[in-house]
Structure 1
Amino acid sequence: MNPRPFALCVYCSASTADPGQLALAARVGTEIARRGWHLVSGGGHVSMMGAVATAARAGGANTIGVIPKHLVHREVADVDSDELVVTDTMRQRKQVMEDRADAFLTLPGGIGTLEEFFETWTGGHLGQHTKPMAILDPGGHYTGLFTWLTELRDRGFVPQQALDLITVTPDLTEAFTALAHPPSAVPIRDIG
């Protein structure tokens, strides 16, 4: 019996129409398929979320969408997913996504993406999971955030060990290499 394929959870915007961001999301979906991985996503068929899933499926990847019932129409549920899980709440959505994933990739996004990223990062820092986490940021979307987090580290509010759990990179290949390995085996880039 073959083990289940590696599953990557992607957090990203469900609202932007920026062509560059949509192209980035499509490149991520294509790379997921090229590696023979599964995609775990927020289950919407809009914006970057839809672009990742569409590109992953086009390349032959299995896609698992997880969406709370109150967003089924708002985010136009990705009914083309190989598996579409509809949850009662956002909290349940995030738990299912975390449980089904082997690693987490954050792309540019807004408050929902940030909330998912911070919850996953906090869980990793507290030892609730040991799954790799990366942020793919070729356009500097998160530069201000990590400048602030570095200041918080310098003031003693965020330990360096927490920052070391995240690979932040503008390079798709570097992000996927980091995601394929447990955090202890990933060389962490200096974000300070």
Structure 2
Amino acid sequence: MAAATLYREDPGTGDWSLSQLVVAPASAVEAVLAGGPPLTAAAFTDVAPGCAWPASPDWSPDGTRIAFSATRPCASTHEDGTPLLQMDVAVVTLPIPGSEGAGTVAWVTDDTAADYESGINDSSPAFSPDGRWLAWARGHEDDWTHIVLEDVGAPGSPTVLLDGTHWFRGGLDW
């Protein structure tokens, strides 16, 4: 299987109008690699519908889960009272192979309860090679960033691996 984040642009305004975290079956990818035509949007299945602006997908080593970041309203608000949008990290457990439809999304980070300082973004999740740990970047863009680790088997126990002495990092990998 292949995972991707697809964005659609409104041709009239140029604004992004849709985003999806999608997967394509391995057989479809293999057909393209063997010289077949490129995939069309119909070849992909949205595995995390309702997640706004999913980004940075990373497969678990066993191929059953995808970690990603997505934008959600947080407890902090703008001056007009509208919620500030921040990136949180989630993991989607894919449906049984061959089944249709979305997976089960579990949020790893969550600022809907005002646990974070305003403007914090969690992004670039990456599974460890053995699948035991999930790492991600947490911070303010152009300010400070932590690299955070969490034991996948013990959610809610994040550990700061690298403290906030540097600017924002992204694209983590093991």
Report which structure shows greater RCO (CA 8 Å, sep ≥6): 1
Q: TM-score range by the shorter chain?
A: under 0.3
Calculate the TM-score normalised by the size of structure 2.
0.27
Bigger CA radius of gyration: 2
From the two aligned structures, give the one with the greater strand fraction: 2
Question: Normalized per residue, which structure has more helix?
Answer: 1
Q: TM-score, normalised by structure 1?
A: 0.25
